[in-house]
């Protein structure tokens, strides 16, 4: 009998302790546990000085609830209260309002809900990256001047641009889900800004990026001629501004009003060009960082010298690294997907040029933006000028070193780039 009473007492004591624990649990933690995977709509954020302070929030809340309505206005609200629909804030920065009930009898519940939302909002802001809402560009490809409309060459190039952009949009619509149209500063980190002619250029390595930076520097008045600008000045001089260096307002404004362009290249050809540049010539970064890791992982019976220097990486070893889901060293912009570098499914590029028709496309773009007539795209090879450019024939020679399976997996790796930019399969046996 005593054992039964003691057991019952312990059970009741434990239940009471559990109830007290639940009651004292932080509401912020409870909400976080009850809503796994919740998505928060992100509006265009105002600077911190426009945010409502805690004291102002409480005073406004007390004033409104006295009238039977609790309305809290947020500049660029990040996280809505539960069951309250929100929309991405428009470019005129309208403030979104959250109405929390109209029944005076429910004021106590409403106040608790507001305070709970306030705590949760403060918690999520701490944990979330800064996001910027992105709408379709208000600017499309500049229209042809009246005197150019009778020029068959300009008309043909203009039509090619329309077709390229159409294919890109259709591919994005079919394979990508970007209904939220939200970008982060990471998405614009490869975009260079030229404010005088209002140009945004997304850098794609091994697709004429060095010469495009020279052109942007001339447009910006930093040099008189592209020939005067050395390679190190282009890449290490920090003369050009990147879009992620601006505040949210500056990024948003430029994305919606500047002419956005990128130049791309056949993926396999771009890959071979990068390999030749970084691994077949002395390089005090790619050899010790990438070369040593690749040789160590993929070369059987590697010599001590090769392991020490990282020099002499073979193309087949490089492809093994590229296709390995557990790479010994991370990705690099020189062989990453254009789809990841420039986010063409998030950013509406107005002009899409190709390396294969670089001179024609580049000079057409300069004509469209009204660049000085004496400025043309440079033809010279930026590095290893005595070496032949990477061509389709050279690319095929490198890929002939691979097995059919490796070629297929390499094609699969760059499949979205092939599809989005309408490049043909480089080998007939690919599917």
pLDDT score at 57: 39
How far apart (Å, rounded) are the C-alpha atoms in residues 19 and 267? Answer: 62
Q: How many residues does the chain have?
A: 431
- Which residue has better confidence, 238 or 356? 356
Q: 72 by DSSP, 3-state: which?
A: strand
**pLDDT 10s digits, 283-324:** 999 999 999 999 999 999 999 999 999 999 999 999 999 999
Residue 43 near residue 133, CB atoms below 8 Å: yes
Structure tokens belonging to residue 340: 């990841």
Residue with tokens 């404004």: 253
Residue 351: CB atoms within 10 Å: 23
| Whole-structure pTM value | 0.68
**pLDDT 10s digits, 202-238:** 999 999 999 999 999 999 999 999 988 988 888 888 8
Q: Using CA of residue 141, residue 146, residue 148, residue 149, what is the dihedral sign? A: positive
How far apart (Å, rounded) are the C-alpha atoms in residues 169 and 155? Answer: 21
pLDDT score at 77: 34
- According to the per-residue pLDDT averaged within each range, which of 70-84, 252-266, 379-393 is highest? 252-266
Residue 377 near residue 215, CB atoms below 8 Å: yes
Percentage of residues of the chain with pLDDT beyond 90: 55
Average pLDDT over the chain, rounded to whole? Answer: 77
Backbone region of residue 208 per phi and psi (left: phi > 0; alpha: psi in -120 to 50; beta: other values): left
pLDDT score at 126: 36
Check pLDDT > 50 for residue 354: yes
Residue 237: CB atoms within 10 Å: 13
Task: Identify the band that residue 338 occupies on the pLDDT scale cut at 50, 70 and 90.
Answer: very high
Which residues lie closer than 8 Å to 329 by C-beta, 6 or more apart?
289, 290, 293, 294, 321
Residue 338 near residue 164, CB atoms below 8 Å: no
Q: By C-alpha distance, which of 196, 202, 233, 210 is closest to 337? A: 202
How many Å is the Cα radius of gyration of the chain? 29
**pLDDT 10s digits, 1-20:** 666 767 676 777 777 776 65
**pLDDT 10s digits, 130-181:** 444 444 444 566 677 776 777 888 899 999 999 999 999 999 999 876 555 6
Residue 241 near residue 219, CB atoms below 8 Å: no
Phi/psi of residue 289, nearest 5 degrees: -85, -50
């Amino acid at each position: 009998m005593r054992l039964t009473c003691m057991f019952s007492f312990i059970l009741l004591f434990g239940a009471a302790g559990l109830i007290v624990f639940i009651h004292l649990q932080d509401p912020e933690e409870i909400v976080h546990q009850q809503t796994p995977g919740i998505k928060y709509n992100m509006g265009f954020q105002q600077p911190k000085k426009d945010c409502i302070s805690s004291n102002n929030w409480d005073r406004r809340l007390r004033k409104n609830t006295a009238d039977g309505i609790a309305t809290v206005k947020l500049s660029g609200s990040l996280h809505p209260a539960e069951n309250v629909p929100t929309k991405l804030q428009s470019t005129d920065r309208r403030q979104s309002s959250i109405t929390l009930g109209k029944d005076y009898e429910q004021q106590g519940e409403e106040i608790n809900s507001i305070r709970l939302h306030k705590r949760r909002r403060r918690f999520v802001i701490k944990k979330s990256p800064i996001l910027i809402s992105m709408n379709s560009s208000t600017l499309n490809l500049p229209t042809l001047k009246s005197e150019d409309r009778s020029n068959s060459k300009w008309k043909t190039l203009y039509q090619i641009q329309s077709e390229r952009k159409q294919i890109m949009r259709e591919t994005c619509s079919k394979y990508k889900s970007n209904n939220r149209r939200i970008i982060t500063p990471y998405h614009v980190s490869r975009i260079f800004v030229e404010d005088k002619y209002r140009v945004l250029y997304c850098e794609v390595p091994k697709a004429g990026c060095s010469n495009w930076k020279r052109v942007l520097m001339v447009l910006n008045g930093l040099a008189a001629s592209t020939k005067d600008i050395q390679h190190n000045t282009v890449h290490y001089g920090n003369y050009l501004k990147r879009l992620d260096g601006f505040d949210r307002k500056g990024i948003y404004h430029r994305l919606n009003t500047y002419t956005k362009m990128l130049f791309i290249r056949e993926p396999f050809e771009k890959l071979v060009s990068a390999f030749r540049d970084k691994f077949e010539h002395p390089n005090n970064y790619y050899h010790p960082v990438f070369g040593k890791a690749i040789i160590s992982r993929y070369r059987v019976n590697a010599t001590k010298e090769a392991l020490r220097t990282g020099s002499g990486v073979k193309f087949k070893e490089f492809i093994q690294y590229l296709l390995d889901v557990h790479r010994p060293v991370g990705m690099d912009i020189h062989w990453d997907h254009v789809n990841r570098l420039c986010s063409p499914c998030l950013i509406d590029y107005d002009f899409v040029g190709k390396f294969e028709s670089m001179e024609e496309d580049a000079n057409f773009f300069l004509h469209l933006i009204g660049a000085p007539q004496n400025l043309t795209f440079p033809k010279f090879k930026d590095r290893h000028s005595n070496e032949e450019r990477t061509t389709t024939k050279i690319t095929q020679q490198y890929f002939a070193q691979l097995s059919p399976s490796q070629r297929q997996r390499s094609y699969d790796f760059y499949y979205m780039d092939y599809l989005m930019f309408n490049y043909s399969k480089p080998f007939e046996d690919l599917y």
